[in-house]
Chains A and B, each alone.
Chain A
Amino acid sequence: MAAILIHAAIPLTIILVYALVAIWGERKIAGFIQDRLGPMRVGGWHGWAQSIADLLKLIQKEDIIPTNASRFLFKFAPFMMFAASYAAFAVIPFSSAYIGSMINIGVFYLLAVTSILTLSVIMAGWASNNKWSLLGGMRSAAQMVSYEVPTIATVLTVVLVAGSLNLMTVTEMQAGNDTLGFLPNWLIFQNPFLIVAFIIFFISILAESHRVPFDLPESESELVGGYQTEYSGMRWAMFMLAEYADMLLLSLLGATLFFGGWNSPFGDFMGGPAWGFFWFMLKGLLLVFVMMWIRWTLPRYRVDQLMHICWNILIPLSFINLVLTALWEVIF
């Protein structure tokens, strides 16, 4: 029992700390990119406590539920969304010494659990009884269902090369520094088609986690707040938390599949479980940074263009890529 609780608490702590840092970080990054400073006041140095102050504010806010909303679904949706992304952390190997649950079908479980996110977004959009929320919910349902296909296809490519669904095994495979004599044995350097796979994967996770240029469900200049329009206070904070957790989850998945997970880029140097955790988070946060960087650069796509990119470009490409990778594996 105690072991279960500890195993449950560790990812939760990581998510919460990460969310506080990431929200502050996103605002700082946005500020610097836009020639501003971002939050500077709360807590002294560069306003590091801004997210904590925001959290305290959100907890104190009134919990408003629209009169005609479907009360149960409205209340339930944010928690379900958070639960979905939280549950998926169980199979992420944070370091060589720690993984929440060592199961053989890790990748499969992760993809299955994150699908619940779609459901909760529709739930929130529908239960709000607001036209803008409804449009946001519908858009996001279409988007997430579509983009799951290329994500799964690219993950499958990696699984094909690695030969395992267990993320720990996949990571352990990537240890060492032998590729071309000096590069780490990361999967992205193993096979030219995996580079293509990574690009497709990255575009898909941008869409999966609702980041610009695919942030249509909550595109504030069109749909006001999308499915979050009617939410406020703590429930809205849950959405925010789930969204950032989802971003981290997919980035960490990317780091595990393509960038060697907790393996150090310098072989045994700075190895070991503690450094492993450091490297793993560093890789994940770098991907998160790139996502933020893209967010503050690009305009967003329109909903039909989004579907066009997915169904006409990414999905065929990812399947062709899968076949080519298989051929490469057979030949070499």
Chain B
Amino acid sequence: MLNAVKQSWLTFKSIFTGMGVTIRHFFGPSVTLRYPEERMELPKGARARLFVNIDDCIGCNLCARACPVNCIDIETVAATKDVDLGKTSTGNPKRFWLTRFDIDMAKCMYCDLCVHPCPTNCIYMVPEYEYSEYDRSNLVYHFSNLEPEMVAEVKEKAEQEAEQKKREREEMMRKKAEEKAKKELEEKKKADEEATKNEKENGGE
């Protein structure tokens, strides 16, 4: 009997202790933010969205290779001899036209692995988180700043140059081959001549 009274006293006591805690919180301040009106300041290094400073990109493809989910899609075209793409702000010479630099943020898992290998620090995370879309295809970010005509032109030029190089190389190869053939022919001739000479000499005796 006494035990039962004690137990129920303890029950009430623990309930009132709990209610004391909640009523203190009731009159305490709120800890939440009213989101669209108030926004949380993200710290400097927050990883929320990938950004590419395309002017500094040298098209080395290291980030795409580091990505575990293959969300970075890069297409580069070698620059022709007549144009100079200049240098990046870090002093690396640029040798490629970046005809495509797409990042699919729907696939991205914000792991930061692409950021570290970049030699020019041009791909990095920015603390911007309000970019939801109704269509998933809108989450593919195109960072290449070349116009489509420009891309076509560049590609054509590069192709032409490649063609020319190929032709040149072929020419060279042909020349080489011709020379080689000539040489061989001459050598053969020589050998033949020598052989006939020897024969003659031998025959003369």
Residues of chain A touching chain B, judged by Cβ–Cβ distance below 8 Å, are: 29, 31-37, 40, 293-294, 296-298, 313
Please report the C-alpha to C-alpha distance between residue A294 and residue B18 in the assembled complex, in whole angstroms.
Answer: 9
Complex interface: chain B residues within 8 A of A294 (CB): 15, 19
Assign chain B's interface to a size class: 10 to 19
Alpha-carbon separation in the docked complex, A296 to B22 (Å): 8
Given the complex of chains A and B, what is the CA–CA distance between A296 and B25 in angstroms?
11
Picked from B23, B30, B32, the residue with its CB within 8 Å of the CB of A293 is B23
By CB atoms of chain A within 10 A, which of B4, B32, B34 has the most? B32
Known A29-B26, A294-B19, A298-B15; contact A37-B32, beta-carbon cutoff 8 A: yes
The reply to whether B23 and A34 contact each other, CB–CB distance below 8 Å, is no
Docked pose: A327 CA to B30 CA in angstroms: 52
The verdict on B83 contacting chain A, using a C-beta distance below 8 Å, is no
Measured in the bound complex, the distance between the Cα atoms of B29 and A32 in whole Å is 8
Contact A35 B18 (CB under 8 A): no
Q: How far is the CB of B204 from chain A (nearest CB, A)?
A: 119
- Kindly state the separation between the CA atoms of A293 and B23 in the bound complex, as whole angstroms: 8
Would B25 and A40 count as touching, CB distance under 8 A?
Answer: no
Q: Are A32 and B19 in contact (CB under 8 A)?
A: no
**A35 in contact with B22 (CB, 8 Å):** no
Closest 9 CB pairs of A and B: A297-B22, A35-B31, A297-B18, A32-B26, A33-B22, A33-B26, A37-B30, A36-B32, A297-B19
Q: A35-B25, A293-B23, A297-B18 are in contact. List 4 more A-B contacts (CB 8 A).
A: A32-B27, A294-B15, A298-B18, A313-B8
Binding site for A on B (CB under 8 A): 4, 8, 15, 18-19, 21-23, 25-32, 34
- The reply to whether A35 and B19 contact each other, CB–CB distance below 8 Å, is no
Tally the A-B contacts, defined by beta carbons under 8 Å. 40
Provide 13 A-B residue pairs closer than 8 Å at the C-beta atoms, listed in order of the A residue: A29-B26, A31-B30, A33-B23, A33-B25, A33-B26, A35-B25, A35-B32, A37-B32, A293-B23, A293-B26, A294-B19, A296-B22, A297-B15
> Is there an interface contact between A40 and B18, defined as CB atoms closer than 8 Å?
no
Complexed CA–CA distance, A29 and B25 (Å): 11
- Shortest distance in angstroms between B157's beta carbon and chain A's nearest beta carbon? 58
A33 CA to B19 CA, complexed, in Å? 10
Q: A35-B28, A35-B32 are in contact. Are A293 and B8 (CB under 8 A)?
A: no
**Is B30 in contact with A32, judged by CB distance below 8 angstroms?**
yes
Asked if A293 and B19 sit within 8 Å, CB to CB, the answer is yes
Per the bound structure, the CA–CA distance linking A258 and B6 in Å amounts to 27
Contacting residue for B25 out of A34, A37, A298, CB 8 A: A34
Which residues of chain B are within 8 angstroms of A31 by Cβ–Cβ distance?
A: 30
Q: Which residues of B contact A37 (CB under 8 A)?
A: 30, 32, 34
Asked if residues A40 and B34 are in contact (CB atoms below 8 Å), the reply is yes
Which residues of chain B are near A36, meaning CB under 8 Å? 30-32
A295 and chain B: residue at smallest CB distance: B22
Decide: A293 and B22 in contact? CB cutoff 8 A.
Answer: yes
What is the bound-complex CA distance between A313 and B9, given in angstroms? 13
CB distance from A315 to the nearest CB of B (A): 14
User: B151: shortest Cβ distance to chain A, in Å?
Assistant: 47
- Interchain CA distance A293-B20 in the complex, whole Å: 10
Is the CB–CB distance between A35 and B30 below 8 Å?
yes
